Structure 1
Amino acid sequence: MEPISRALVSTDWITVVIFSSLFFAVIAKQVSYARFLNFIILPFNNKYIFMYNKKDRLWNGFNILFGIFQLLNFSLFIYLCRPLWQDPAEEIFPFLYIVIFGLLLTFSLVKLFLQLANGFFFNNNKLVSELIFKKLSYLFYSSIIVFLGNICLVYIFKDSRVVIYLTIFLVIAVNLVGWITILKNYQKEITTKFFYFILYLCALEIAPIVIFVNALTK
């Protein structure tokens, strides 16, 4: 009986996390319905970027609510990815989710602060804010994919590596579309400041991800 009891891990708290994240997404939709409709077609139409890339582009109710939605779901997805490095039958404690959420929240806030500080010190506040807004918009959109992946991993295809890899692929694809759009829109700025762009890419995009992944795997 002991092996069976160890393999059975309650998903009640996961259900709470999923429905809590859905609550924030629904509130975001209710608060800014027109904005949500434009946001939902983001990878296929840049209308959302052009319409809302204005004053207070970062600090508004819609972004804050979707930021919480994104953090809850990405943290849960990382937690559910344990079959990639651990036997799914092994007991795992919900406390790990809290640790992952804390790390992801800290990582996101520190990275955002460093990017804004970079804009301040190099007198490029407007440009940096635009870049952050566009990257966050695609990241928030990819969190919808992660949300659906979480539902599949918890209730339909439990611990499925196919679902995990497919979700990762789609998240990368959506954010890649965002980066391609950014590179197209800022070709002139990147060309004239290529060295600073490479420095920014390595220091504030690639390095933080490597550090975060190392922190998770240790």
Structure 2
Amino acid sequence: MNPVDRVVFSLDWITITLFLSMILLTLGKYLFQSRFMNFMILPFNDKYILLHNKKGQLLNWFHILLTLFQLLNLSLFLFLIQKHLLAAPLGDDQIAFFWILGFLTLFELAKLGVQYLKGFIFETSHLISELIFHKISYLNFSSLIMLIGNIVVIYILNDSKMVIYATILLVLAINGIGVIKLLKNYQKALIPHVLYFILYLCTLEIAPLVLIGSYLKD
């Protein structure tokens, strides 16, 4: 009887990543129960934004935990998109994931720095801070959908493109709701700074999406 090689693809690093992200989510729920409950109804109720959108909100530990949760799941989801939808040659999967995670982390930090610098220059720091908190809060919420999508694609419906597309649509819908509510809630504050807001959208929201899409495609 001749030995037959059997190649088993390890999911250990993905399991650890998902487990770590769920630990962050659990810590947020355990340490900030009231805030977590308000966060869970974010797309349907503005209570979370109204109660917690104040000075220093970005440095709150709950917001930090949920942002780290978002970075892990968004990085893993982008990894799955690149691997299964774009069929890009990634080389070592683990290294590719950490490249994506590192790029997203540096990108978000650089973007925050530019946003606050622009707010300081145009004397709209308070408004910029509120806009950032609102936007990141909705992105953090949509990462819950990414977590479910990641788990289904990896462990249940392996490599399902339909699940990936459905997750993308849900994430876009949630963040679309966030944008609509942002414009509705801040229309009086944005009108005097409409030119700055348009510049903000073009340079820090639309352009980065185009660059990331081009990177994933290539």
The alignment's TM-score, normalised by the length of structure 2, stands at 0.92
User: Is the aligned partner of 1:84 residue 2:52?
Assistant: no
How far is the alpha carbon of 1:87 from its aligned partner?
Answer: 7.8
Deviations 1:5-34 (A, max 9, x none): 3xx421111100000000011111111110
Equivalent-residue separation in structure 2 for 1:73 and 1:93 (angstroms): 15
The alignment's TM-score, normalised by the length of structure 1, stands at 0.92
Deviations 1:148-199 (A, max 9, x none): 1000011111110110000000000000000000101122233333222211
Equivalent-residue separation in structure 2 for 1:92 and 1:169 (angstroms): 28
Letter of the 2:86 partner, please give it.
W
Equivalent-residue separation in structure 1 for 2:193 and 2:74 (angstroms): 33
Q: Is the 8 A contact 1:70 1:140 kept in 2?
A: yes
Structural mapping, 1:191-206, within 5 Å: 191-206=191-206
- Give the match for residue 166 of structure 2: 166
How far is the alpha carbon of 1:92 from its aligned partner?
Answer: 4.7
Root mean square deviation, CA, Å: 1.9
Q: Is the 8 A contact 2:86 2:217 kept in 1?
A: no
| Paired residues, number | 214
How far is the alpha carbon of 1:107 from its aligned partner?
Answer: 1.0
Structure 1 gap segments, 5+ residues each: none
- Give the match for residue 103 of structure 1: 103
Q: Is the 8 A contact 2:74 2:143 kept in 1?
A: yes
Structural mapping, 1:1-218, within 5 Å: 5=7, 8-81=8-81, 82-86=83-87, 92-218=92-218
Equivalent-residue separation in structure 1 for 2:139 and 2:91 (angstroms): 31
Q: Secondary structure at the match of 2:93?
A: coil
Deviations 1:49-95 (A, max 9, x none): 1111123211110011111100110111111121111189x975311
Q: Secondary structure at the match of 2:57?
A: coil
Q: Secondary structure at the match of 1:44?
A: coil
Equivalent-residue separation in structure 1 for 2:35 and 2:202 (angstroms): 32
Percent identity for Structure 1 against Structure 2: 47
Worse-superposed segment, 176-185 or 52-61: 52-61
Structure 2 gap segments, 5+ residues each: none
Equivalent-residue separation in structure 1 for 2:88 and 2:131 (angstroms): 40
Deviations 1:119-172 (A, max 9, x none): 111111111101001001100000000001000011111110110000000000
